[in-house]
Structures are given as structure tokens and as C-alpha cells.
């Protein structure tokens, strides 16, 4: 098995896996970072969203070989007090919670790019992350809350 | 800590109990951490010397908020400090009573029992304080984690009292609080599980990680009922990381060191299947059902003399409605983890039925049920899918060949093509009005497939009462009949959020609006005219008022209302839609519910919004097609769900009530589809004869 060096949540990690292994399974099975979820395996649901060099990526659709040497941020790497996480808790967003890591990571990427996102920018960014419980209205409120918090530097 | 959810230490307890062997690298039962002095009068509640109140929640948390709502009931009767309450998911054990989570029953069936559980602990703490102070216990109160003596102006914390309280007898019939003294029940308390669900710490079934664990997937026949004819493991075993290939009852399992190797092994596996229902097509089934709808069915319920009334009616109206198979499609595909060790079996499963799942595991293992422990993880959605334990059997059959734990995962395609589907149905509705515009005759002929009779074929030929959920008209109509025709299908059937209430009221409530319009009546007022006084009428009235019924809408828009009593609650919904250039948009949905006493209005609101979204996904796009005996829609490309940018504005209103609590998980679903269809009828004059909506 080939070895790959990744930077995951600021830590250098070496994994031994087939080069075509999707990042998703490297995170979940090799590194026990189970916050990143499997939902569809083909980039349709967004539950597996992580940041790769700051960009939101579906981790089921990029291989470990493609992300070797890149900076990967998963939901565990946000530290728990990220403004987006605080806002999701304040708005009591999750229901079953399974899609929420993907929702949070996509929102983090959105606010990094657009600190004052317009409703159209929010819809474009969040439209591909499915939630079967239907928490979308609270996600929208949480993003607005987080954006405000970031602007006021809290 | 108010509003912040669980602290790290409490979180540890919670994640340990939902399967966090990961934390310590081994399973740590919560009772191993029991502080020396603690009070536990029953299986549901424990008060520790540090004041922590642990509540064992016997219903599975699948998003509906039982970890919060059920804990709230215990905590209120106990007089606990809410910030010190730690909910814990109970493992499968008869001591927790009926743990089955379905039918919107969690609060309905647990309310009184959990009140008694909390009250028993409270009486013991109060008695301990009374003994210490040498006063009459009746003058003491328990609130916010303290026993308070209002006369002596003194208090003792629960933690200071547990040692003495634990020595007292457990009261058999503790006195319950006067509901006017509730201080947690009725409050919109934030969920206890929000934080762990946005940090990645929450442990769902497929997040269980144990030392040495292997990962398995199963090559299943795509055709319903087919079996493995032959397989050759050689090519699968050549995939690096694959450790074993073995046949199990659902197919051929490929076990590997990680999920990806298992998936590659499955793709490489040589396997052929035989038999099954390759000739089955859902389109043909629906054709057959449509034909049967035109004939008579078994009269399941009736009133008056329908034939005579129909004969005399001046205006006769008729419609036919067709609904498809539907899949549950929870975001977390089916999975379970099993580990045979020390002569027994441990299972971790996201299940709605802990005890039946444990029994299924025991049968698959060939062990007595006492040798099996089954821990309930968090569920990434349930919606009725996880009432069946097929995925537990899969995991146990594979793990039997190993001494290390094995996690068995279904792919999305496995999940979509081997569900227990909402049955399809065809409904013929007929109504007759007399010369004065009064609704005098009503006939609803339901043609569907019986979930109950598929499970228990001995009942074939009988009326399936379960399939009649919400089929009888709630209105005062002198002559009516509900008829039923059941058609067998080889497609596995199951309970899909609100079950048959997702079908019957779509047909009858949409038809009601059509009848009203034919008779020149306003559908909202016509309902209020024909509904008897009661909770459903209150919900209908409230929904119409809050929606601004009658207020003018823009060109191309329509407003529609529908109502339904189901699972102990009564719901009316008003939808505002626009249909422009054949494009449907649902802009706003107003929900009014009468669900008796509300434990947590925030959770009730979440469940109703969730019901609206679930039903709207089905209305717009939900359809499972079976061709050549296999499912066509196997991933979200062809079974798409409502998306963020399609979310309507949803408002929820509750009729104030002190009645016993009703259900909330399902009752939000049934009125949505007919409300949207009625709004389309208002906007376009066209009925919606078939779901999903085709424009």
C-alpha cells in the first residue's frame, strides 16, 4: 500500500491506503474522524463536505492521492467555538444531525469567501447539501447570525 | 451552561452511551462511572452526589428530540436544575418498558410513566430533607436542584441529600405535581444534543469505531426475491485490504480493512443471482389498481344509506388519485456493528426497535437473548425505515465469522433499492350534493397494498384496519362509505412517516376542495360548516385565520387548506403557491396543530416544519419505480429531496390545550400534500390526480 502525507486539522498525518481511496474513507476509517459523513458516495448530498486548501469539497469525490500535501479541515478541526458552530447551536439547528457536519463546513467556506453573503450567495452555496429532516430555515438563520458575529469580531 | 448544551464531561457520558467506545478505545458502561453515593429509584433517573441528574431515555433519538423532551418530563417532576440534567440513550433492555420508537408515541406513552419516575426521586429527596430538618415534608418544595423550606427559608442541594435519600423506601405511588407548577414542561428549552451534532462528536451507527474493527458491504441481488446462485471470491480477494468473502442470507459479504477496499472487493466479486420477481413492474401494478378502483371494494366503514343518497343527489362529482411507492431515504444509510467476544455478542445499531433488534441479533447469532447486548446509537433519521432489523441481521451474520468487531454498511444504492417502501395507492372519490348544495353522499374507495398482510399472510382476505388511517371523512355527512381493495405485491412494504395517513387524506382532502368549488363554496368555510366542534375544527379555524384566508394573492398564486387527525393530534395546513410557466413554487405554509399539552414548543415546531419538508419532497419529486423487479431510483440524482433554496416560509401555531399530549412526529405530514394540491387547484383550476406533481 502506498503512503500519503496529509495535513488534517493542522496535524501532519501519514496514511497507508490505495491511491484511489476517497478522502472520506481515509478520514473515517483510517483517522477515526467520523464527523465527516457518508451519505451517497457520488457527490449528490454534501454530507461529506470538508475544506481542502480552504475550498469546500465533497470528500467522497476526491481521492487521497489528489489531496496529498494539501491542508484539510474537517468539522473536528473547527474546535467547537467557531462562529458557525456557535450559531448552529444558538439556533438549535440540528435534528437527526447526520447532515450537519456538511452543512457547517459548507457554511464555513461560504463565510470565508463572502463575509456578508447575499441571500442568492447563501442559496447557491447551501443548495447542494441535503437535509432530510428539513432544518433549512434554521440553517439560514444560523448563517445570518454567524455572519453578524464575524463582522462584529466576536 | 444554559443554552450551551452539554459540557465536555457530560458529553463524554452521552457519547459513551451512544457507542463511544472510540473515546477510551473500549466500551465503558455508564454505570461504571456511578459515583458511590447516588439515588436511583428506578431505571429512568439517577441523582448523583455532585448534583448531576442522569435520565435514561428509552425511545431512540432520530431527530425528533426525545433526548431533550423526555428528559424534560422527568426533570420537571423531580425539580431538577435543567443544566445538570444529562440524557442518556438507554440500551435494549426490558426494564425500560416498550422502547419501540414509532407511531409518534414517545411523549404520548411515556408522559405519565416518566412523571412518576421523576416524582419518586423527588419524594425521596424531600423526605430526606424533612428528616434532617425535622419538619413536615408537605411544607417542602423541590425546585432547580434543591429542596427548599419556604418557612424556614433554607435549602439543601440534591447532591447533599442523595446519601440519606437512597436509604429510604422507594414510593410506590408518588404524588404527581399540579400541572400549574410545571416550570420545564411547556418551555421551549434548547436541545441537549445540538452541540455534539455540530462538532462531529455525535456517534451515529456508522461512527462506532472499535479496536481491530473490520468493514463489510454486501453484494445483494438487485431483483426482489432473487437469491445467490453462485459466486467466486477470487477476484474480490485480490483487492488489497479485502480479508474475507462469505455468503450470508441477504447476499455475499465482502469484509475488508476499510470501507473502500470492501467496496472495491464487492465491485470485483463474481456473483450471479437467480429467481425473484424479474417480471414485476410498478407501472403494471398501478394499471391493475386503477382498474380495480372502478369496481366495488369491501365496505370497511359506513354510515346511512349511501346508494339511495347517491341516487337522489342533484350534483355528482368524482375523481381518481394515484400515489407511488416511496423510499424513506434517511441521510444515514442502514448499518450496524457486531462483535462476538467472551461467549456473547455486542451490537451497536441505529434502530427504532431496540428489543426486537436485540432478539433478531440473538436469532442470527444462535445465542440466547441474555447473551446479547444491543446499544442504541444516534439515528441519522428513521422515518419508519429502522423499525425493521434486517441490517442488524446482516452485521451479526458477518461478524459470526470473526473474533474482532465488524461494521456492516449499506451503500446509498443498497438502502434505496432494499427499503420497506410506502405502498402505492389509487383512490376513487365520489360525492353527491342535494339541491340546496348540502354534501349528502361520500364514497372513498381505497385500492392499496397491505403492509400488515404482507407481514402476516394469514390475514389475507380481511379488511386491513391499519390501512384505513384517516380514511373516514371527519365531516358531518349523512351517508358515506369507505371501501377497500387490497392488492398483493412482491415489493417489501413498511411504515413511512405517517403510513397510510400519507395517502388517504391526500385523496379525500384534495377532493373535498374540488367538491366545494363545484358547489360554489369557500373550502375553508365549507370545512368549518361540516366539522363537528372539537380539536380538528379548532386547528382548521386557527390555520385559516393565521394564514389570512381570503386575502388577495398575486396573479398566478393560489391558497389551499387541508386538515387531518392522526396519531393523537389534529393538524390543518394552509399552503400558498404560485404556478407560472408550468413551474410550481411553494412560498408559505401555515401549520396549526392541536396536540394537547405541549412539552416543548420548540421541538413541536421542529417536528411540524420537518413534516412539511418531508411531505413536500414527496409531493414534488418522490417516486420509486420498479422495473424488471428492481428499483430504478437508487440515489439522490433520481430521488431528490427538497433543497435549501426551495424551502417555503413555514409558520407553526399551537392551539392551547391541557389535554393529554398527542403525537407530533408524523401528524405534520398528511395535510401538506392536499393543502398544496388545493392551492394549485385554486391557482389553476386543475386537480392534481397523480403524485409526484408533474405540472
Domain boundary pick from B199, B220, B243: B199
Pairing of strands B344-349, B372-376: parallel
Please check whether residues B183 and B252 belong to one and the same domain.
no
Whole-number Å distance between alpha carbons of B59 and B351 = 10
∠ CA B65-B66-B69, nearest 5°, is 85
Domain membership of residue B673 (yes or no) is yes
Place of cell 416543548: B600
Task: Tell me: do B184 and B237 sit in the same domain.
Answer: no
d(CA B127, CA B80): 16
Residues B317 and B344 in one domain: no
Sort strands A55-58 and B154-157 into parallel, antiparallel or unpaired: unpaired
Query: Do B347 and B489 belong to one domain?
Result: no
User: In the listed set B181, B199, B217, which residue is the last one of a domain according to the structure?
Assistant: B199
Contact criterion met (CB < 8 Å) for B198 and A42: no
Same domain, A89 and A134: yes
State whether A147 and A123 are in the same domain: yes
Phi, psi torsion values for B72, nearest 5 degrees: -60, -40
Look at B642 and A36 and tell me if their CB atoms are within 8 Å: no
Q: Which chain A residue has its CA at the smallest distance from B8's CA?
A: A80
Helices (H) and strands (E) in chain B, counts: 19, 27
The domain boundary residue, chosen from A47, A77, A107: A77
User: HEC states along B423-490?
Assistant: CCEEEEEEEEECCCCCEEEEEEEEEECCHHHHHCHHHCCCCCHHHHCCCCCCCCCCEEEEEEEECCCC
C-alpha cell at A50: 470538508
Place of cell 456493528: B337
Together in a domain, B95 and B142: yes
Structure confidence at residue A150 (pLDDT): 83
Check whether residue A70 and residue A94 sit in a common domain.
no
**Statement to judge: residues B375 and B454 lie in one domain:** no
Q: Which three cell numbers mark A143?
A: 448563517
Per the structure block, which three cell numbers stand in for B82? 435543567
The residue of chain B nearest to residue A19, with distances taken between CA atoms, is B260
- A1 CB neighbours in chain B (<8 A) are 240-241
Both B248 and B375 in one domain: the answer is: yes
ipTM of this complex prediction, to 2 decimal places: 0.98
Distance CA A91, CA A101 (A): 15
Say if residue A46 is in the same domain as residue A65: yes
Same-domain pairing of A59 and A118: no
Q: Which three cell numbers stand for residue B131?
A: 428528616
The Cα of B636 is separated from the nearest Cα of chain A by a number of Å equal to 6
Which residue of A21, A76, A123 is in closest CB contact with B644?
A123
Provide the grid cell at B52: 448531576
Final residue of a domain: which of B173, B199, B225? B199
DSSP character for B661? P
Whether A47 and A95 share a structural domain: no
pLDDT at A154: 55
Between the CA of residue B41 and those of B45, B47, B82, B88, B164, what are the distances in Å?
7, 9, 19, 16, 13
Q: Are residues A96 and A34 in the same domain?
A: no
Residue A135: is its pLDDT beyond 80?
yes
Nearest to A41 among B22, B379, B412 (CB): B412
B215 neighbourhood in chain A, CB within 8 Å: 29
What are the grid coordinates assigned to B381, written together?
Answer: 433519521
Structural domain containing residue A141: 78-151
- Answer yes or no: is B228 within a domain: yes
Q: Same domain for B514 and B546?
A: yes
Could you tell me the CATH number of the domain that includes residue B158?
3.30.365.10
Q: Please tell me whether residue A124 adopts helix, strand or coil conformation.
A: helix
**Structural domain includes residue B591:** yes
B692 prior amide bond cis, ω within 30: yes
Give the pLDDT confidence of B430-459 residue by residue, as tens digits: 999 999 999 999 999 999 999 999 999 999
**Which residues in chain B come in under a pLDDT of 50?**
1-33
Kindly state the percentage of chain B with pLDDT values over 70: 95
DSSP B66: H
C-alpha B197/C-alpha A35 separation (Å) is 9
Of B198, B241, B379, the CB nearest to A96: B379
Residue of chain B whose alpha carbon sits nearest to that of A104:
B198
* Contact between chains at A33 and B650 (C-beta distance less than 8 A): no
Surface-to-core class of residue B311, CB atoms within 10 Å of its CB (0-12 exposed, 13-18 middle, 19+ buried): exposed
Q: Which three cell numbers stand for residue A87?
A: 450559531
Residue A74: its chain B contacts at CB < 8 A?
200
Query: Residue B188 and residue B173: Cα distance in Å, rounded?
Result: 29
| Domain-located, residue B635 | yes
Which residues does chain B have within 8 Å of residue A144's beta carbon, measured at their own beta carbons?
Answer: none
Q: What is the dihedral of CA B342, B345, B349, B351, to 10 degrees?
A: -140
Could you tell me if B94 and B43 are in contact, meaning their C-beta atoms sit under 8 angstroms apart?
no
Provide the pairing of β-strand B630-631 with B649-654: unpaired
| The model's pTM | 0.95
When divided into structural domains, chain B yields a total of 3
| DSSP sequence for B546-607 | HHTTT----TTEEEEEEEEEETTEEEEEEEEEEEETTEEEEEEEEEEEE-SS-S-HHHHHHH
How far is the alpha carbon of B27 from chain A, nearest alpha carbon, in Å? 16
What is the number of CB-based contacts under 8 A between chain A and chain B? Answer: 189
Question: Domain ends where: A77, A111, A127?
Answer: A77
Distance from CA of B91 to the nearest CA of A (A): 18
Is the four-CA dihedral B596, B601, B606, B608 of positive or negative sign? positive
Three-state DSSP class for residue B532: coil
Contact residues on chain A for B614, CB-CB shorter than 8 A: 132-134
Same structural domain, A86 and A60: no
Sign for the CA dihedral angle at A32, A33, A35, A40 comes to: negative
* Same domain for B223 and B90: no
CATH of the domain at A123: 1.10.150.120
Angular region, A32: left φ>0, alpha ψ -120 to 50, beta rest: left
Number of structural domains (chain A) is 2
pLDDT at A151: 81
Comparing alpha-carbon positions, the chain A residue that sits nearest to B264 is A21
Q: What is the mean pLDDT of chain B?
A: 94
Containing structural domain, residue B76: 8-199
Question: Which residue, among B130, B126, B168, B160, has the nearest Cα to B143 in the 3D structure?
Answer: B126
pLDDT at B18: 40
A45 and A70 in a single domain? The answer is: yes
Sequence-distant (6+) residues with CB within 8 A of B481 are B299, B301, B302, B303, B306, B442, B443, B444
pLDDT tens-place string over residues B364-374: 999 999 999 99
Distance, CA of B292 to CA of B401 (rounded, Å): 49
Distance of residue B220 Cα from the nearest chain A Cα, in angstroms: 17
Q: Do B203 and A41 touch (CB under 8 A)?
A: no
Q: Are residues B262 and B144 in the same domain?
A: no
Across the interface, do A129 and B644 touch by the CB < 8 Å criterion? yes
Amino acid at each position: 500500500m502506498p503512503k500519503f502525507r496529509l495535513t488534517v486539522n493542522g496535524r501532519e498525518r501519514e496514511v497507508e491506503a490505495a491511491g484511489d481511496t476517497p478522502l472520506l474513507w481515509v478520514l473515517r476509517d483510517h483517522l477515526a474522524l467520523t464527523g465527516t459523513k457518508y451519505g451517497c458516495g457520488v457527490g449528490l448530498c454534501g454530507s461529506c463536505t470538508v475544506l481542502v486548501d480552504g475550498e469546500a469539497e465533497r470528500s467522497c469525490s476526491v481521492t487521497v492521492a489528489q489531496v496529498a500535501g494539501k491542508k484539510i479541515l474537517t468539522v473536528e478541526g473547527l474546535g467547537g467555538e467557531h462562529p458557525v458552530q456557535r450559531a448552529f447551536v444558538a439556533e438549535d439547528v440540528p435534528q437527526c444531525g447526520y447532515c450537519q457536519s456538511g452543512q457547517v463546513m459548507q457554511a464555513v467556506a461560504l463565510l470565508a469567501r463572502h463575509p456578508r453573503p447575499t441571500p442568492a450567495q447563501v442559496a447557491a452555496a447551501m443548495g447542494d447539501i441535503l437535509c432530510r429532516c428539513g432544518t433549512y430555515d434554521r440553517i439560514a438563520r444560523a448563517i445570518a447570525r454567524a455572519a453578524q458575529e464575524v463582522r462584529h469580531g466576536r | 451552561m444554559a443554552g450551551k448544551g452539554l459540557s465536555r464531561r457530560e458529553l463524554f457520558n452521552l457519547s459513551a452511551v451512544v457507542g463511544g467506545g472510540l473515546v477510551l478505545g473500549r466500551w465503558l458502561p455508564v454505570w461504571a462511572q456511578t459515583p458511590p453515593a447516588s439515588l436511583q429509584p428506578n431505571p429512568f433517573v439517577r441523582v448523583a452526589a455532585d448534583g448531576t441528574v442522569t435520565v435514561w431515555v428509552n425511545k431512540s433519538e432520530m431527530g425528533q428530540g426525545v433526548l431533550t423532551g423526555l428528559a424534560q418530563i422527568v426533570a420537571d417532576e423531580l425539580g431538577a436544575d435543567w443544566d445538570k440534567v444529562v440524557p442518556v440513550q438507554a440500551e435494549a433492555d426490558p426494564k425500560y418498558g416498550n422502547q419501540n420508537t414509532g407511531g409518534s408515541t414517545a411523549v404520548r406513552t411515556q408522559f405519565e410513566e416518566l412523571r412518576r419516575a421523576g416524582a419518586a426521586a423527588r419524594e425521596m429527596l424531600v423526605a430526606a430533607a424533612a428528616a434532617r430538618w425535622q419538619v413536615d415534608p408537605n411544607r417542602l418544595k423541590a425546585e432547580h436542584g434543591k429542596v427548599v423550606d419556604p418557612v424556614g427559608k433554607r435549602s439543601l442541594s440534591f447532591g447533599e441529600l442523595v446519601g440519606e435519600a437512597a436509604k429510604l423506601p422507594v414510593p410506590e405511588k408518588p404524588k404527581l405535581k399540579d400541572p400549574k407548577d410545571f416550570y420545564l414542561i411547556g418551555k421551549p428549552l434548547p436541545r441537549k444534543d445540538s452541540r455534539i451534532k455540530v462538532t462531529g462528536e455525535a456517534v451515529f451507527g456508522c461512527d462506532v469505531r472499535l479496536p481491530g474493527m473490520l468493514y463489510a458491504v454486501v453484494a445483494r441481488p438487485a431483483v426482489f426475491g432473487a437469491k445467490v446462485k453462485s459466486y467466486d471470491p477470487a477476484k474480490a480477494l485480490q483487492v488489497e485490504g479485502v480479508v474475507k468473502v462469505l455468503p450470508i442470507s441477504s447476499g455475499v459479504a465482502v469484509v475488508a480493512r476499510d470501507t473502500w477496499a470492501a467496496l472495491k472487493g464487492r465491485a470485483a466479486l463474481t456473483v450471479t443471482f437467480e429467481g425473484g420477481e424479474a417480471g414485476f413492474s410498478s407501472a403494471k401494478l398501478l394499471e391493475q389498481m386503477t382498474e380495480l378502483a372502478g369496481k366495488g371494494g369491501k365496505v370497511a366503514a359506513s354510515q346511512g344509506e349511501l346508494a339511495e343518497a347517491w341516487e337522489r343527489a342533484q350534483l355528482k362529482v368524482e375523481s381518481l388519485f394515484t400515489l407511488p411507492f416511496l423510499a424513506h431515504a434517511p441521510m444515514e444509510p442502514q448499518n450496524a456493528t457486531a462483535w462476538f467476544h467472551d461467549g456473547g455478542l455486542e451490537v451497536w445499531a441505529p434502530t427504532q426497535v431496540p428489543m426486537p433488534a436485540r432478539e433478531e441479533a440473538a436469532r442470527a447469532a444462535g445465542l440466547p437473548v441474555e447473551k446479547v447486548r444491543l446499544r442504541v446509537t444516534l439515528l441519522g433519521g428513521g422515518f419508519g425505515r429502522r423499525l425493521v432489523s434486517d441490517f442488524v441481521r446482516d452485521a451479526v451474520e458477518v461478524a459470526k465469522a470473526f473474533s474482532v468487531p465488524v461494521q456492516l454498511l449499506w451503500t446509498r444504492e443498497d438502502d434505496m433499492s432494499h427499503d420497506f417502501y410506502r405502498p402505492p395507492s389509487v383512490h376513487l372519490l365520489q360525492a353527491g350534493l342535494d339541491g340546496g348544495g348540502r354534501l349528502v353522499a361520500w364514497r372513498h374507495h381505497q385500492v392499496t397494498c397491505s403492509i400488515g398482510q404482507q407481514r402476516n399472510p394469514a390475514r389475507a382476505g380481511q379488511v386491513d384496519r391499519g390501512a384505513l388511517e384517516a380514511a373516514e371523512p371527519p365531516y358531518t355527512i349523512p351517508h358515506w362509505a369507505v371501501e377497500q381493495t387490497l392488492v398483493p405485491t412482491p415489493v417489501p412494504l413498511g411504515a413511512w412517516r405517517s403510513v397510510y395517513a400519507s395517502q388517504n387524506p391526500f385523496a379525500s382532502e384534495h377532493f373535498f376542495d374540488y367538491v366545494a368549488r363545484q358547489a360554489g363554496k369557500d373550502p375553508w368555510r365549507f370545512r368549518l360548516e361540516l366539522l363537528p366542534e372539537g380539536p380538528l375544527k379548532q386547528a382548521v379555524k386557527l390555520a385559516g385565520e393565521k394564514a389570512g384566508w381570503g386575502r388577495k394573492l398575486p396573479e398566478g398564486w393560489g391558497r389551499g387548506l387541508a386538515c387531518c387527525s392522526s396519531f393523537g393530534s389534529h393538524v390543518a395546513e394552509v399552503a400558498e403557491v404560485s404556478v407560472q410557466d408550468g413551474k410550481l413554487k411553494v412560498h408559505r405554509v401555515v401549520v396549526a396543530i392541536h396536540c394537547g399539552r405541549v412539552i416543548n414548543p420548540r421541538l413541536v415546531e421542529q417536528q411540524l416544519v420537518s413534516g412539511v419538508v418531508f411531505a413536500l419532497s414527496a409531493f414534488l419529486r418522490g417516486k420509486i419505480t420498479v422495473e424488471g423487479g428492481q428499483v430504478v431510483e437508487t440515489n439522490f440524482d433520481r430521488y431528490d429531496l427538497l433543497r435549501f433554496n426551495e424551502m417555503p416560509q413555514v409558520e407553526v401555531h399551537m392551539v392551547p390545550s391541557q389535554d393529554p399530549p398527542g403525537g407530533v412526529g408524523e401528524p405534520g405530514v398528511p395535510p401538506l400534500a392536499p393543502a398544496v394540491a388545493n392551492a394549485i387547484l385554486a391557482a389553476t383550476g386543475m386537480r392534481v390526480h397523480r403524485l409526484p406533481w408533474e405540472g
